[in-house]
Structure formats: structure tokens, C-alpha cells
Amino acid sequence: MRSPRFLAAASLAAGAALLLSACASSSDEAEPAASDNAAAGEVALITPGTLTVCSNPPYEPFEFEDETGEIVGLDIDIMQEVADDLGVELLVKVTAFETIQSGVDLDTGSCDVVASGITITDERKAKFDFSDPYFDADQGLLVPSGSDLSDVDSLAGKKVGVQQATTGETFADENGLQTVQFEDLGLQIQALKTGQVDAVINDIAVLGPFVEEGFEVATTFPTGEQYGFGVKKGSTALLDAINGTLERITTDGTYDAIYTERIGTAPIGK
């Protein structure tokens, strides 16, 4: 598969995905708002010629920093396909997951789209519009190798590291577990290494890389979750463009290639 080409930019500000936002006109006559352009079938971007995507690494294999310092991963690969179909460049901005999943990044015009392993939920649907699902995900339990922690019952009285504002945190809370919140997956893993927590719960697909670091995935908690990309409410044209790209890459084999490269196996049923 060809290497994704994009401009990487990091911004850890909590203020400010495939989304559109109106660009102010410098002329005397105001241009239509982004939603108006969307209704007319035009994709308006916050920066003309650039698709700006907010993401929250480290969340390998969906978004993470490679050895050159660039943000790469399955989500970024798909966003590159969308940018290519639109004929624009791709700019990846690193922001907090809270401002991604809450819709703040989209509402403040920080980016056109949010792409960060975001599970589609009714609560999030109320804040922004989702693309078609592109990945099936369940929750997983990561523990030190040789641990006897293997299910919810065994976690009673234990400290469980969760990523704040995620469905993993929701799962742990709903099951009455004692949780310790972390801003991102990297901090969760570090806490497990230092013994600050006894186990970590997060999406199963992101836990595999840590097996080689002295941990094991003790179990999977089936939740029926699916990931989607997010855009600002009313960004119909951009949403249609994203869904069009998802349909194309699913049909022409590009998605299977991306999935196999990033996950390590072919999609189930392939």
C-alpha cells in the first residue's frame, strides 16, 4: 500500500472529524456558511485546499507517532484516502480526546473532521454527525503476564486504568469497578508498568502491541461497538464525501489492505 502523505501538526490545547467549517470571506459580499455550501453539494474546509483532522495519539494502530515523528495509523490512512478523493492535502492535529469526543474541536473550527478510534454512541451523535461505521471494536483487559485477573469479578477491589471519556471507562463504571482515569492510552500503559494500576481496560484492537512488553490480553468484553469519523452537525457534503470514500475503499480492496497492514490480520470474513 502506498505511504500516506500528509502534513503533521501537534496542538495539545484543550480548546478548539471529516468535517466542514465556514471560511470567512475577505470580499464585501459574504460567502455562504459551511452548511449552505454542503446543501449545494460543495465541501467547504476550514483551510482551503487542506483537510484538517483532529486525532489523539498514542492509540496504535489507529493513530500513533512513527520513528520520523509523523502521525500514522489506520485512521490516518483512511483520512488520506478521503483527502485524495477531494484533491486536497491532509493535515493532522493532535488534540485531547475529550475535545474530540465532546464535539468541541468541531464546533470551534479546530478541524474539519475528528478521527481517533471514536465509538459511535447516541450521546456523541447528539454532538456531531458520524460517518458510516468503518471498524468493529470490543473492550479488552490488559494485565501483567501471569496475572490471575481475567474477568470483571476478579477485578473487584483492584485499580483499573481507563482512558477518560471513552467507552472503556463507561464499561468499567457500569460494572462497578474502581477506576483511575488517564488522558491517553500511553499514560494508561505507563501506570500499569509502574504498578499504579492493576489492569487496563481499553479497546481490544489497541492492546495487542503491548503483549511484547510483558503484558497479556486476559479477556475480551464483547460490547458490539463500532468506530466512525465525526463531522460538525449539518456538514452534509463532507459527510457524503467521507462515506463515498469508505464505500470506494471497501469495494476496491484498499480498506482490506490498510486493515491488514495496521491490524496484522485480514478483516474477519476476508
Dump the DSSP string for 191-212.
HHHHTS-SEEEEEGGGTGGGGG
Q: Give burial (CB, 10 Å; 0-12/13-18/19+) of 248.
A: middle
Is 80 exceeded by the pLDDT of residue 269? no
Q: β-strand 50-55 against 7-10: which pairing, if any?
A: unpaired
The alpha helices in 13-138, defined as continuous H runs, are: 34-39, 74-86, 97-101, 104-107, 122-125
For the entire predicted model, the pTM comes to 0.78
Task: Work out the percent of the chain whose per-residue pLDDT is above 90.
Answer: 79
How confident is the model over 54-79, as pLDDT tens digits?
999 999 999 999 999 999 999 999 99
Is 50 exceeded by the pLDDT of residue 155? yes
Record: fold of 7-134+228-263: D-Maltodextrin-Binding Protein; domain 2 (3.40.190)
Domain 137-225 has CATH 1.10.3720.10: no
The rounded distance, in Å, linking the Cα atoms of 225 and 2 is 29
Three-state DSSP at 162 gives strand
Is 90 exceeded by the pLDDT of residue 107? yes
Q: Indicate the domain borders of the chain.
A: 7-134+228-263, 137-225
Q: Is 137-225 the same fold as 7-134+228-263?
A: yes
Question: How high does pLDDT run on average in the chain?
Answer: 87
Cα-Cα-Cα-Cα dihedral of 53, 112, 184, 99, to 10°?
A: 160
